[in-house]
Amino acid sequence: MSTMIKIEKVLVLPSTLDLNTIYFVKNDTTNELKIVCTNNVGTIAYETNDQSTISTIVTNKIGDLDNLLTDNKTSLTAAINEIATQLVSITGPLTITQYVASTYTITDYDSNRTYTLSSTTGSVTRTTDTITYTPNTAGSVGFTINGRFFTVMVNPSYVNTPSINSPTNNAIDISLVPTFTASAFSTTGTTQTQTTAEWELATDSNFNNIVQSCTGYDNFTQWTPTSLNHGTNYYLRVRYSGHLSGASAWSAPITFKTWSGGWLNSFHHTSTGERLYAVSTDPSGNLKQKFESFDWVVTEMDGNNMASVS
């Protein structure tokens, strides 16, 4: 792969040569450079061999160009020297991870030179000969140093889509005060800290009619909504957020139906002075609902049996 630097209107070339553009071509694999001259239709008219440094071209290759550029050696030398102050040789990883800092070394570092860095896809800083680049965008991106763009491939980092563990999809006879649970938080690319869990409960599959929602900041994998309606179909989904990449995609929604059986199975009490409460259970004896709004109060106890109420 080569980096091509185009110099236009630097030289006033003899008209008989029919040349209009000079390029300095850098081989990104070997870090060698050469000079290429093209004519008006883009055909290469003159090309030097690869050299290890621009200064080598200035020293050894100007003579080769004398017959071609007889009256313009000074201009060519000035142009090459100008580019030499801008080009920087860098080594470092070509494939990195989004949001993860990677370091690069300026192999021809000179403490007397000025280095200007920038990036539109993350942060880039320099300390002496070490460059630190932290990309916030995945794909083919990079940073610029002294006018040279250094390209890297950035693998994405994101929060994996969670899944709902309970209730299961198409479940029936779900408690009117259920506890929903979801899978553990996980990421791809780099480790992240979970910041939130967002739950949505709706009565339609498109989640246009959201009846309850919750954003949790501590108990990330479960949610207990307020009492649901009896014998009703609901739809549930969840998503997680990480401190670097933000929210995941929503989980695949599940649907369930709350318990639609009878309302009252038995009365219970605990001790004198406490209110009675009624419970409803499914045929297997699982608690479905608890009612504590009765006005009856236990006034006497006889073992496990209630003697009287008021």
Mean pLDDT per 10-residue run, the chain (310 residues)? Answer: 40 42 58 56 50 40 40 47 61 95 92 90 96 96 87 96 97 92 96 96 97 89 92 96 96 93 50 54 57 48 41
What's the confidence (pLDDT) of residue 219? Answer: 79
Co-location of 120 and 63 in the same domain: no
Co-location of 252 and 223 in the same domain: yes
HSE at residue 235, side-chain half, CA atoms within 13 A, is 13
Q: Quick count: other Cβ atoms within 10 Å of Cβ 179?
A: 11
Co-location of 135 and 97 in the same domain: yes
- Name the 3-class secondary structure at 76: helix
Last residue of a domain, one of 102, 135, 155: 155
Co-location of 201 and 239 in the same domain: yes
Q: How many domains, the chain?
A: 4
Co-location of 151 and 173 in the same domain: no
What's the confidence (pLDDT) of residue 306? Answer: 41
Q: Which domain holds residue 135?
A: 90-155
Last residue of a domain, one of 84, 110, 127: 84
Co-location of 196 and 224 in the same domain: yes
Last residue of a domain, one of 53, 84, 115: 84
Q: Would the CA dihedral through 171, 176, 179, 183 be positive or negative?
A: positive
E strand or H helix at 77: helix 73-84
Co-location of 15 and 60 in the same domain: yes
What's the confidence (pLDDT) of residue 90? Answer: 87
Say which residues have a Cβ less than 8 Å from residue 94's Cβ, sequence separation at least 6. 151, 152, 153
Beta bridge partners of 118: 144
E strand or H helix at 54: helix 54-56
Co-location of 239 and 164 in the same domain: yes
What's the confidence (pLDDT) of residue 12? Answer: 40
Could you tell me the CATH number of the domain that includes residue 150?
2.60.40.1080
Could you tell me the CATH number of the domain that includes residue 252?
2.60.40.10
Co-location of 67 and 32 in the same domain: yes
Co-location of 151 and 65 in the same domain: no
What's the confidence (pLDDT) of residue 182? Answer: 97
Q: Quick count: other Cβ atoms within 10 Å of Cβ 4?
A: 9
Does the reported pTM lie above 0.75? Answer: no
